[in-house]
Structure 1
Amino acid sequence: MDLLKLIALDRDDIEVVSAHLQDAIVKVGDVHWRPREQRMVLGVNRFDWESALTNDPIYRRRLAALRFERVLSCQVRNIDPRNKDAVLNLLAIDFAPVDGASGTATLLFSGGGAIRLELECLESELADLGPTWTCARCPEHALEGPSPSTPGVDAATPPRH
């Protein structure tokens, strides 16, 4: 399978990126806020929805990077930045334009965690970084009721090289 590489410059673009990152696993220690560079970079294990939705589904995860440029500020809610081994389940990325090209991107995690980025303008990239590995199941979400901290997540880890 080809490596995915997507650029997001507007709301429609970030919705596509968000769809590809639904149920990505993110360790807090793999979230890197670089205020001097106005950049946020996250290393993620994204669920490969493309292979899961075929006639003969194989459940896989892929190592990928998500990058935001022109980040003016970063705020977190219900995430302890000191707990580097904590695992987050990314549910969606929401973009709300504020004035012209500026706006806020909010990364929403199960269990109520969130990272809010104030952006000069939306400039983001999602890129697969390498190999896939199989996982036992497809993530599932309850249709109603409170969301558990990591619904249906297969916490399989990538192979070590």
Structure 2
Amino acid sequence: MSDARFEDGREAPLNLGAQDAEDIGVLSALVQDSVLTAADMQWEPARRRFSLLLNRFRWEDGGADRHAPERVRSVLVIDNVMGLASQGIDRGDKDLILSLLSVGFEQDGEGPEGHILLTLAGDGAIRARVEAPELRLKDVTKPYRAPSGKRPDHG
């Protein structure tokens, strides 16, 4: 019998929460370059919840040198949402492909209230006014080979 090796470890799906700007920065790095359509967004005012179904690039994938780059379907949920605003998104075009660049939090004054800002490629943005930041990111499918076969490149 031999010792366990790091390479033998199981890569588990992500299931993370965020409740402050630092946590949201971690989620932002994990969802960078995710793609979605307008149909993949759901606003539930009665539940004060805004959800996005993402095709997320697996930046955290430690085995990417052993296989092709991967994506995974993930749900990003923002709770405590009191209102939404957007710019640069044709909400009538449900097939329009959007690329998520970052997620940030802007605090209003001393309390926990503020805005979650989702920045999209081009001139798109979504701003969720929140009572307090509460986000969840959960992978909901097995990883699959990225259709481009490449890592996103910002250079």
Could you say which TM-score interval applies, normalised by the shorter chain?
0.7 to 0.9
Q: Determine what percentage of the aligned residue pairs are the same residue.
A: 32
Shift of 1:140: 1.1
CA contact (8 A) 1:45 1:61 kept: yes
- Give the TM-score normalised by the residue count of structure 2: 0.87
Matches within 5 A, 1:108-147: 108-135=119-146, 136-142=149-155
CA distance in 2 between partners of 1:81 and 1:57 (Å): 36
SS at match of 1:67: strand
SS at match of 1:111: coil
Structure 1 gap ranges (5+): 143-161
SS at match of 2:122: helix
- Residue 107 (str. 1) matches residue 152 (str. 2): no
Partner of 1:24: 34
Shift of 1:58: 2.8
CA contact (8 A) 1:52 1:60 kept: no
- Residue 79 (str. 1) matches residue 89 (str. 2): yes
Shift of 1:141: 1.5
Shift of 1:16: 0.4
- Residue 47 (str. 1) matches residue 67 (str. 2): no
Partner of 1:151: none
Structure 2 gap ranges (5+): 1-10
Letter matched to residue 100 of structure 2: L
- Give the TM-score normalised by the residue count of structure 1: 0.84
Shift of 1:53: 7.7
CA distance in 2 between partners of 1:53 and 1:12 (Å): 26
Shift of 1:97: 0.6
Q: Which has the larger radius of gyration?
A: 2
Count of residue pairs brought into register by the alignment: 142
